[in-house]
A = this chain, B = another copy of it.
Amino acid sequence: MTTLTKEIFEGYTYVDGGVCAAKGFSANGMNCGINPDKEKNDLGIIFSRVPCQTAAVYTQNKVKGAPILVTQENLKKSENIASAVIVNSKNANTCNPDGVELAEKVCQIAAKELQIAPEQVVIASTGVIGERLPLEPFEKAMPELVDGLSEDGNGKAAEAIMTTDTVKKEVAVRFMIGDKECFLGGMAKGSGMIHPNMATTLNFITTDVSIHAPLIQEALSEIVKITYNCLSVDGDTSTNDMVSVMANGEAGNKEIREIGEEYEIFRQALFIVMENLTKMLAADGEGASKFLECTCDGAKDLDTAVAVAKSVISSDLVKTAMFGEDANCGRIFCAIGYAKADFDMEKTEVRLVSEAGNLLVYKDGAAVSHSEEEAAKILKEDKIYILVNLNQGEVSAKAWGCDLTYDYVKINGDYRS
């Protein structure tokens, strides 16, 4: 995976600890036997000692994993209060005749062990679709999983949600609300089947900020549009996408119940963590050898900026050209041109950028001739930035992806074995 450098934001410090960075959260992960490879964690848990205000967004795919349906129902019943996340990999529990019943059973098993109500469990699964989820591994493993909960168990939990991911993905930040020290952290999984639509791959975020669930939901729904939804590995929107944010209030700030300065501090923390996780997902795209970021500046509105940036990042032809380090910029112009948005190509400028250089390649409705040598030097790098300036407004957006390689085909030609 390409190594990324984290962007610095004033007032926020990156810290270790992932989902355990926030006070009052513990986590654990283990192999419970769904994955025959005993070295690979397949079951994870996140737990807050006090119940949390909780918000979530889910995949818009019509085929929804059973855990999605059960989590939605649980949060409805509990009025957005959750205490734990239970997540397994290797089996998506999707398109099974009794998938909902099985997911509910897993919640009951976990709730009993944690001494909470079953509807306070956020449940998620990832893996193969259409295979029956076995209950026995959950029944057997749950006492050990709960017993092993610890404040540095975040890594084990992050490993438990990995499928074709090559690295675990965790980010956390420290910040202040008034005189209270706060933390917000998350973990994510995802490598293929990534083209989020109003949701994402599996992402769990925890914070000790005290904030009312509807405001978490508002921030989450807004930020998901400019982070996870601007990510594409392969154009496939998963059946099991979910992001949840749990806030337990242990930081001791006065509960945030309206939009204002304190809400903005929280919102920015959520943005930083989600944007970092999004970039990590792009860099670890299935088979990826290069990280791609497209920035669209000068758009008349956010929808236009997102549509253009995402169109470039989603193009198989742009992705293969980047893999081949071929400065076939026509592929980029073409992908900008079919973005579903209204703008004028005559005013648009395009630049190819990496640590090795910055090259203008399109202006005044035409390609700008440039040195092939300089273009080749730029594309040799493993982080490629495509800058599109529409020059038609003030709004910007970014989208992230990766190149399309032989290894993507290899991984997905034989995913189940």
A323 vs B97: C-alpha distance when bound (angstroms): 28
CB pair A130 B326 closer than 8 Å = no
CB pair B412 A316 closer than 8 Å = yes
Which residues of chain A from 373 to 417 have a CB within 8 Å of any chain B CB? 404-406, 408-417
CB pair A236 B326 closer than 8 Å = no
A116 within 8 A of B: no
Distance from A311 Cβ to chain B, minimum over Cβ atoms (Å): 10
Interfacial chain B residues near A239, Cβ < 8 Å? 330, 333-334, 337
Contact pick for A330, options B97, B130, B339, CB 8 Å: B130
Distance from A256 Cβ to chain B, minimum over Cβ atoms (Å): 35
Contact flags A292-324 to B (C-beta < 8 A → 1, else 0) = 000000000000000000000011110011011
CB pair B338 A62 closer than 8 Å = yes
The A contact surface, by secondary structure, is loop
A411 vs B96: C-alpha distance when bound (angstroms): 39
A60 within 8 A of B: yes
A33 within 8 A of B: no
Which residues of chain A from 147 to 174 have a CB within 8 Å of any chain B CB? none
CB pair B367 A96 closer than 8 Å = yes
Interfacial chain B residues near A409, Cβ < 8 Å? 320, 323, 404-406, 408-409
Contact pick for A326, options B61, B365, B367, B414, CB 8 Å: B414
Chain B residue, CB-CB nearest to A410: B406
CB pair A328 B236 closer than 8 Å = no
Interfacial chain B residues near A408, Cβ < 8 Å? 316, 320, 409
CB pair B96 A320 closer than 8 Å = no
Distance from A44 Cβ to chain B, minimum over Cβ atoms (Å): 22
A95 within 8 A of B: yes
Contact flags A212-256 to B (C-beta < 8 A → 1, else 0) = 000000000000000000000011111100000000000000000
Chain B residue, CB-CB nearest to A366: B97
CB pair A337 B61 closer than 8 Å = yes
Distance from A346 Cβ to chain B, minimum over Cβ atoms (Å): 10
Distance from A65 Cβ to chain B, minimum over Cβ atoms (Å): 10
Interfacial chain B residues near A410, Cβ < 8 Å? 406
Q: How large is the interface on A (under 10, 10 to 19, 20 to 34, 35 or more residues)?
A: 35 or more
Which residues of chain A from 46 to 93 have a CB within 8 Å of any chain B CB? 60-64, 92
A383 vs B417: C-alpha distance when bound (angstroms): 24
Interfacial chain B residues near A316, Cβ < 8 Å? 234-236, 316, 408, 412
Which residues of chain A from 123 to 146 have a CB within 8 Å of any chain B CB? 128-131
Chain B residue, CB-CB nearest to A415: B328
Distance from A136 Cβ to chain B, minimum over Cβ atoms (Å): 19
A27 within 8 A of B: no
Contact pick for A413, options B63, B320, B366, B412, CB 8 Å: B320
Distance from A296 Cβ to chain B, minimum over Cβ atoms (Å): 14
CB pair B334 A63 closer than 8 Å = yes
A-B contact pairs, 21 of them (CB 8 A): A62-B336, A62-B338, A63-B337, A97-B365, A128-B330, A129-B328, A129-B330, A129-B333, A129-B367, A193-B334, A236-B315, A236-B317, A237-B337, A237-B338, A239-B330, A316-B316, A317-B412, A320-B409, A321-B412, A404-B409, A408-B409
A237-B334, A320-B409 known, 8 other contacts, Cβ within 8 Å: A63-B334, A92-B330, A94-B333, A97-B364, A97-B366, A129-B329, A236-B315, A237-B338
Give chain A's interface residues, CB within 8 Å of chain B. 60-64, 92, 94-97, 99, 128-131, 192-193, 197, 234-239, 314-317, 320-321, 323-324, 326, 328-331, 333-339, 343, 345, 362, 364-367, 404-406, 408-417
